Amino acid sequence: MKIDARQIDDAVGYFAGLLRFTLVVASVLVVGTAAAEARPWETRHPAREPTPAHQLRTLSTWPAEPASPTAIDAERFRASLVHLCGRRGETVGASVSDDLLAAANSSQVDPFLLAALVLFQSACNPALTSPTGAGLLRIDRDLYVGAGAPKPPVEKSEWALTNLLDPKQNLSVGARLLKMWQDAHPTLDEQFGGVPHRSAVAHFVWGDDVRSSGQEDLILTARRRMILSYSAAPDETRDTSLGIKIVSPLEGNPRVATSGPGEERDGGARRHRGLDITATIGEPVRAIADGVVIYAGANMGKKVRVDSIPPDKIGRYTNRQLGAGGIYVCIQHDSDRKVVSCYMHLSTYRIADGDRVTQGETIGFVGRTGVRVSPPHLHLEIRVDDRFTNPCRYLSDLVIPPKATMTYRYVMKRARLRA
């Protein structure tokens, strides 16, 4: 696929601007500026900035997070961890579940939060090695080194790479570090400031000075997903004016929508036709309502539409350069009107053209096919009588609308400057 210079400039400018905007807001919202000028030790921070993540303008938009079950059944916990870890679930999730529970219990931290960190930090990969850390919890020793900073609850030998690549040891070290951040959280916010955030898990990512709440939001969303899986809670449905009830296409309500219909794409060459919902690579995508699959395939670009592709052959397209939407599925729903939903940027799917699907059924998995620079997300379209509509109208409080995000604020500001 050929990408011209204007598209590259737009993409680079967008995300560089997003990061600059986030940091400007961070500096404006810093708590206790005077105290921050007299910080008690050299700020501990990651060697590299964490991957940018969308954050809300106001944290009070989030509802209260669900409480963890008080008495945890080990088998149910294992099953929910397998579900959370996706493609690595049966191998990694099942094998580390008991060690995760033991580490969380020993350090007195929430095992569901520790599991969510495993997904966020390494995608459940115990063999991860990168400049930003190693092992299941992507632990970075440099994050815990600061002149005059308190000694972390970790022995020198435990920082060794071989130790961090041992899942049991990594979970033990990580649980103790999470407990350290939880105990220090209120004091750190007074001493170092940072942007408003909801919990101590933000410090696990950022260190002493939290610069964005977006990463924390992704972790807490993963925690909600796991608790829902563990409890086997029924899907929340919403009535619509279309004569059908619908559920969210992603687990763990509410989910953050970052871009809606009508926004510019490709430097204004086209308009966005759906709703982008922040997601994690590999998480399941569900049918919003009962219906029949009318297309399952991929956008090959250059306005070339191919016939539906069987699920056992779609994997060969995952790493190709595809057109907007990438690998996608469309479903026509059981309604008196013609209601079609489409799910785009998938990594793969498990249904075929003509299949009948039920509400909440997993039809595919989140990927980045057809995406140029954006973080992982699901692009959802809902068409009514062949007209594109805003999915927020029907999903209601199952999603947090784009207007609630800082990204939207930046996009609108940039659009005004272009006008």
pLDDT 10s digits, 73-103: 999 999 999 999 999 999 999 999 999 999 9
Q: Amino acid letter at 71?
A: A
* Cα 17 from Cα 409, distance rounded (Å): 11
Q: Which residue has the higher pLDDT, 70 or 137?
A: 137
Residue 170 has a CB neighbour count (10 Å cut-off) of: 28
HSE on the CB side for 11, CA within 13 Å? Answer: 12
> Where does the pLDDT of residue 305 fall: very low under 50, low under 70, confident under 90, or very high at 90 and above?
low
pLDDT value at residue 407: 83
> What are the CA-CA distances from residue 142 to residues 126, 161, 168, 200, 203 (Å)?
19, 13, 21, 19, 14
Least confident of 27-31, 227-231, 268-272, 282-286: 27-31
Residue 17 has pLDDT above 80, yes or no: no
pLDDT value at residue 31: 43
Residue 373 has a CB neighbour count (10 Å cut-off) of: 12
* Interval 387-397 mean pLDDT: 95
pLDDT value at residue 271: 65
* Interval 103-112 mean pLDDT: 98
Residue 27 has pLDDT above 70, yes or no: no
Residue 19 has pLDDT above 50, yes or no: no
* Cα 409 from Cα 28, distance rounded (Å): 15
pLDDT value at residue 277: 96
pLDDT 10s digits, 234-281: 999 999 999 999 999 999 999 999 987 756 555 555 566 789 999 999
CA neighbor of 63 nearest in space, from 245, 252, 298: 252
Q: Amino acid letter at 67?
A: A
Q: By percentage, how much of the chain surpasses pLDDT 70?
A: 86
Residue 214 has pLDDT above 90, yes or no: yes
Residue 296 has a CB neighbour count (10 Å cut-off) of: 26
The pTM for the full model equals 0.89
pLDDT value at residue 263: 64
Residue 34 has pLDDT above 80, yes or no: no
Instruction: For the chain, give the secondary structure using H, E and C.
Output: CCCCHHHHHHHHHHHHHHHHHHHHHHHHCCCCHHHHCCCCCCCCCCCCCCCCCCCECCHHHCCCCCCCCCCCCHHHHHHHHHHHHHHHHHHHHHHHHHHHHHHHHHHCCCHHHHHHHHHHHHCCCCCCEECCEECCCCECHHHHCCCCCCCCCCCHHHHCHHHHCCHHHHHHHHHHHHHHHHHHHHHHHHHHCCCCCCCCHHHHHHCCCCCCCHHHHHHHHHHHHHHHHHHCCCCCCEECCCCCEECCCCCCCCEEEEECCCCEEHHHCEECCCEEEECCCCCEEECCCCEEEEEEEEECCCCCECCCCCCCCHHHHCCCCCCCCCEEEEEEECCCCCEEEEEEEEEEECCCCCCEECCCCEEEEECCCCCCCCCCEEEEEEEECCEEECCHHHHHHHEECHHHEHHHHHHHHHHHHHC
Least confident of 79-83, 91-95, 104-108, 414-418: 414-418
> What are the CA-CA distances from residue 202 to residues 100, 197, 289 (Å)?
20, 7, 35
pLDDT 10s digits, 110-120: 999 999 999 99
pLDDT value at residue 22: 46
> Where does the pLDDT of residue 132 fall: very low under 50, low under 70, confident under 90, or very high at 90 and above?
very high
> Where does the pLDDT of residue 372 fall: very low under 50, low under 70, confident under 90, or very high at 90 and above?
confident
Q: Which residue has the higher pLDDT, 224 or 70?
A: 224
Residue 143 has pLDDT above 60, yes or no: yes
Mean pLDDT (the chain, rounded): 89
